[in-house]
Amino acid sequence: MMESIITKVTVSDVRFPTSLEQHGSDAMHTDPDYSVAYVVIDTDSGSLKGFGLTFTVGRGTEIVVCAVKALSALVIGKTLEEIVSDFRGFYRLLTNDGQMRWIGPEKGVIQLAAAAILNAIWDMWARAEGKPLWKLLVDMDPRQLIRCIDFTYITDALTEQEALDILEKANKGKQEREDQMLKEGYPAYTTSCAWLGYSDEQLTQLCSAALGEGWTRFKVKVGADLEDDIRRCRLIRKMIGPENTLMIDANQRWDVNEAISWVSSLAEFRPLWIEEPTSPDDILGHAAISKALAPLGIGVATGEQCHNRVMFKQFLQASALQFVQIDSCRVGSVNENLAIMLMAAKFKVPVCPHAGGVGLCELVQHLILFDYISVSASLDNRMCEYVDHLHEHFQSPTVIRNACYIPPKDPGFSCEMLESSVQKHQFPHGEVWRHVLGQKHSPII
Amino acid sequence: MMESIITKVTVSDVRFPTSLEQHGSDAMHTDPDYSVAYVVIDTDSGSLKGFGLTFTVGRGTEIVVCAVKALSALVIGKTLEEIVSDFRGFYRLLTNDGQMRWIGPEKGVIQLAAAAILNAIWDMWARAEGKPLWKLLVDMDPRQLIRCIDFTYITDALTEQEALDILEKANKGKQEREDQMLKEGYPAYTTSCAWLGYSDEQLTQLCSAALGEGWTRFKVKVGADLEDDIRRCRLIRKMIGPENTLMIDANQRWDVNEAISWVSSLAEFRPLWIEEPTSPDDILGHAAISKALAPLGIGVATGEQCHNRVMFKQFLQASALQFVQIDSCRVGSVNENLAIMLMAAKFKVPVCPHAGGVGLCELVQHLILFDYISVSASLDNRMCEYVDHLHEHFQSPTVIRNACYIPPKDPGFSCEMLESSVQKHQFPHGEVWRHVLGQKHSPII
């Protein structure tokens, strides 16, 4: 099955009109239409397929689709065996094409497109092995894992040998941790209660329901108006009580000094972290913010828009974050996230993945399960984001029990969508968009 | 004329088959086909147009074209007056659209596309004023210049007031510097002699011809093979003698420690700078390289793939470069380059622009003239790259005299291409490409 030849890469522009109800709204993305560039890879065997995606928030998804098409030429004609037997080489082929790297390199649209394709390849590999992706990774020989990683530009922070040592050290207790995960699941936190566009009434109602369901960790969007933030944080902290955990997220709204003073004003509500206080590119800025907030007991979290391992390397070297928020689509899929998780382990910084959107929870649960079982071996200060919508469009949606991600059992990377959902939400000609765009005065375009 | 309404944004995929003769080849881009996404903005006045472009190296140009189309919706229907009366606001509109910013933000394909459009707007503005762009900038009130800049995320390094102070301080002697430039031109260096794919014979011949034309500053591509580099640097240094200037350029080929040891091996040829020693994202890496090479008298230069002002800010804060290589297309056009030039002035680091490619010389000469006349007021350790090909495709090609850029006099930003060149080089259906792609065993695809 591994020797089936890849014959076709299909990519679709799939969008959900979430802006109509302000789901996902934050200080910088006020009207997101959660979307994906959705990739299906076909082989000549017929039975072996791969499904992958990258997440976007509406307009511009067609540009990512265009980039996936451009990269497809590098994939078609190869076999899965060829690819995974030199996955590092294939990764470089995709991310370092002598002409296309100019429009990155390894950042922005071209990196999102590479992620969508690589996610589909990893999905295909896991299906070929009849395992969920996390289990494929957990069972893989450490030397083979290392050969999936492009160490270019990070050897000053992590060598291949150091990476191997981390994986081999974590061999101890691996089976126990896998059993524990299968029984209890991986701890999650919820962002569903407090999007910026939600009213206080919505927030109260959602928070109360979440407490009832057993949630203990809550994230609130901040950054548009300080008085609003104080009121909302007070409301949430009062509802969840002093023992539960609160995080705040500014989605890059501030300059460096503004971030420090604004967050200091929210310190009384004891947030565990401030997420994305400023530009995702500003390593030194995050370092300054981290240093200023440390005495207040507030950490800095970032990563959902951190575009590659070279940036994460520096965030770690500069002590610019205290929580590494990997994303399953922003960087180069599993390959690059392996590098990032291993660097985080070396620098002893916890990984707390970014999720939500469309399919991000489905994807990233595999990575964080692997991180716990095979890399970090710790749950201290660790948890994975969860947002409760759009899961109904997936073949194998995430399962949450007692506010924990229950490890998926179906083979693959969990991002195969329902064919009917893909059809209905195709932009702009699917049924849903014909309806939305047909309405006059639509807020969408 | 400023009130003419923008009615149309046309964008073309224009490519030159430069890979056939190894022009432009370097350690990472072994087969570039120099290309542009070429933008023409039309207004309802008919006579007022704007021409802009962004540079790429072949495959993937269609993705940038797609991004320009997506951004065009934000431009059509506006007047030039509306745009330039709140240029900062328009800049943010283009770079911070609540949905499209996700696929950047301010980096990669979407930033290249924004640059192409903004370059065309600046061209249109200069045409409307009947001035070459450099002169429009030199004559502009400092307060109006400041209002073109988005200071978001850089106020910890440069405030509006500091920027204004720099411009006002440089008022002294401005007229003299403008006269000097008109008479002598701005000093240039040549990269045309030593592309990586050139043989020693080609190199000797081109270098000898350049010396004859009065060139005194030469750049050599390095990074693929150390023995080759030593041989080529020795050859060039011998030809140009001890007094002339040599620079070396690795185009991101190395990891941090590798860069330090490789460049140390070339120190005997006394290069002024090593350009792009490692990943363009690696601020801390460049800082380590700068520190290690300082005792050898070798500086670090980078910038052509530095994607925005936030990155340049950190390179300056971390003393990670000694030469700031602005590019006219990588970042957000004149608006963002104003921020970068002003930060460089504050940190007292010389600006030495990246040029070459297609149209980069034509564009960036305007920026460096403005830098000298209105910002830095210095030529110390400063020069602008020049590459001698593809100029024949422009309406107002650069003029070099005694190895200096002679200030352009035609109104605009100098990047209007000949209609016949655009037609012939359209990819893939223009005459040139029908011919190249029609040949069997073509090296291009």
Handedness of CA A339, A342, A346, A349 (dihedral sign): positive
* Greatest distance between any 2 Cα atoms in chain A: 62
Neighbours of A239 (CB within 10 A): 16
- A238-277 residues touching B, CB cutoff 8 A: 252, 255-257
* Beta bridge partner(s), residue B351: B324
Which whole number is the average pLDDT over B90-96?
Answer: 97
Summarize pLDDT for B360-374 with one digit per residue, the tens.
Answer: 999 999 999 999 999
Q: Which residue of A has its CA nearest to B307?
A: A104
pLDDT of residue A25: 79
- Tell me the C-alpha distance between A7 and B251, whole Å: 35
User: Is the CB of residue B76 less than 8 Å away from at least one CB of chain A?
Assistant: no
Most A-contacting residue of B156, B286, B354, B360 (CB-CB within 10 A), to test interface: B156
Q: Is the peptide bond before A242 cis (omega within 30 degrees of 0)?
A: no
Which positions in chain A touch B74 (Cβ < 8 Å)?
Answer: none
Contact B67 A63 (CB under 8 A): yes
Token pair listed for A85: 């037997």
Residue B30 confidence (pLDDT) above 90: no
Summarize pLDDT for A289-314 with one digit per residue, the tens.
Answer: 999 999 999 999 999 999 999 999 99
- B366-405 residues touching A, CB cutoff 8 A: none
Q: Which residue of A has its CA nearest to B32?
A: A99
- Tell me the C-alpha distance between B42 and B51, whole Å: 9
Burial class (CB in 10 A: 0-12, 13-18, 19+), B19: buried
- Tell me the C-alpha distance between B359 and A223, whole Å: 41
Burial class (CB in 10 A: 0-12, 13-18, 19+), A37: buried
User: Is the CB of residue A103 less than 8 Å away from at least one CB of chain B?
Assistant: yes
Q: Å from A295 to nearest chain B CA?
A: 21
Contact B63 A279 (CB under 8 A): no
Contact A60 B100 (CB under 8 A): yes
Which positions in chain A touch B105 (Cβ < 8 Å)?
Answer: 252, 279-280, 305
Q: Å from B30 to nearest chain A CA?
A: 6
User: Tens place of pLDDT for every residue, chain A, 445 residues?
Assistant: 789 999 999 999 999 999 888 777 787 888 899 999 999 999 999 899 999 999 999 999 999 999 999 999 999 999 999 999 999 999 999 999 999 999 999 999 999 999 999 999 999 999 999 999 999 999 999 999 999 999 999 999 999 999 999 999 999 999 999 999 999 999 999 998 888 888 999 999 999 999 999 999 999 999 999 999 999 999 999 999 999 999 999 999 999 999 999 999 999 999 999 999 999 999 999 999 999 999 999 999 999 999 999 999 999 999 999 999 999 999 999 999 999 999 999 999 999 999 999 999 999 999 999 999 999 999 999 999 999 989 999 999 999 999 999 999 999 999 999 999 999 999 999 999 999 998 755 444 4
pLDDT of residue A445: 44
Token pair listed for A394: 């997936």
Are the CB atoms for A153 and B284 separated by under 8 Å? no
Among B440, B443, B395, which residue's Cα sits nearest to residue B422?
B395
Q: Using 50, 70 and 90 to split pLDDT, how confident is the model at B255?
A: very high
Q: Å from A31 to nearest chain B CA?
A: 7
Summarize pLDDT for A69-115 with one digit per residue, the tens.
Answer: 999 999 999 999 999 999 999 999 999 999 999 999 999 999 999 99
Which positions in chain B touch A317 (Cβ < 8 Å)?
Answer: 284
Q: CB under 8 Å to B368, separation ≥6 — which residues?
A: B186, B351, B353, B382, B384, B405
C-alpha distances out from residue A433 to A423, A439, B37, Å: 11, 10, 30
C-alpha distances out from residue B314 to B38, B368, B408, Å: 31, 21, 33
Q: Å from A37 to nearest chain B CA?
A: 12
- Tell me the C-alpha distance between B330 and B311, whole Å: 12
Cross-chain CB nearest to B103 (options A33, A109, A280): A109
Label residue B108 left, alpha or beta by phi (over 0 means left) and psi (-120 to 50 means alpha).
left
State the pTM of this model: 0.97
Token pair listed for A260: 């420090």
User: Is the CB of residue A62 less than 8 Å away from at least one CB of chain B?
Assistant: yes
Q: Which helix (H) or strand (E) holds A110?
A: helix A108-128
Map B299-328 to HEC letters.
Answer: EEEECCCCCCHHHHHHHHHCCCCCEECCCC
Give the angle subtended at the CA of A74 by the CAs of A159 and A343, to the nearest 5°: 20
Q: Judging by DSSP bridges, how do beta strands A273-275 and A299-302 pair with one another?
A: parallel
pLDDT of residue B23: 75
Extract the runs of DSSP E, i.e. beta strands, from A208-292.
217-221, 245-249, 273-275
Cross-chain CB nearest to B156 (options A105, A256, A310): A256
- Tell me the C-alpha distance between B33 and B36, whole Å: 10
Are the CB atoms for B239 and B274 separated by under 8 Å? no
User: Is the CB of residue B109 less than 8 Å away from at least one CB of chain A?
Assistant: yes
For chain B, the residue count is 445
Cross-chain CB nearest to B63 (options A31, A63, A308): A63
Q: Which residue of A has its CA nearest to B330?
A: A103
- Tell me the C-alpha distance between A6 and A14, whole Å: 23
Q: CB under 8 Å to B49, separation ≥6 — which residues?
A: B40, B41, B42, B43, B124, B127
Are the CB atoms for A425 and A16 separated by under 8 Å? yes
Residue B444 confidence (pLDDT) above 50: no
Which positions in chain B touch A358 (Cβ < 8 Å)?
Answer: none
Are the CB atoms for A123 and A413 separated by under 8 Å? yes
Cross-chain CB nearest to B108 (options A59, A107, A152): A107
Contact B255 A152 (CB under 8 A): yes
Contact B63 A58 (CB under 8 A): no
- Tell me the C-alpha distance between A283 and A319, whole Å: 9
User: Is the CB of residue B437 less than 8 Å away from at least one CB of chain A?
Assistant: no
Cross-chain CB nearest to A285 (options B98, B105, B156): B156
Active-site amino acid positions of A: 221, 354
Contact B70 A59 (CB under 8 A): yes
Burial class (CB in 10 A: 0-12, 13-18, 19+), B176: exposed
Which positions in chain A touch B252 (Cβ < 8 Å)?
Answer: 105
* Beta bridge partner(s), residue B323: B301
Cross-chain CB nearest to A314 (options B110, B283, B308): B283
Question: What number of C-beta contacts closer than 8 Å exist between A and B?
Answer: 196
Among B14, B122, B1, B52, which residue's Cα sits nearest to residue B428?
B14
Residue B394 confidence (pLDDT) above 50: yes
pLDDT of residue A268: 98
Which positions in chain A touch B281 (Cβ < 8 Å)?
Answer: 106-107, 153, 307-308, 310-311, 314
Contact B109 A103 (CB under 8 A): yes
- B2-61 residues touching A, CB cutoff 8 A: 28-33, 56-60
Cross-chain CB nearest to B59 (options A64, A96, A97): A97
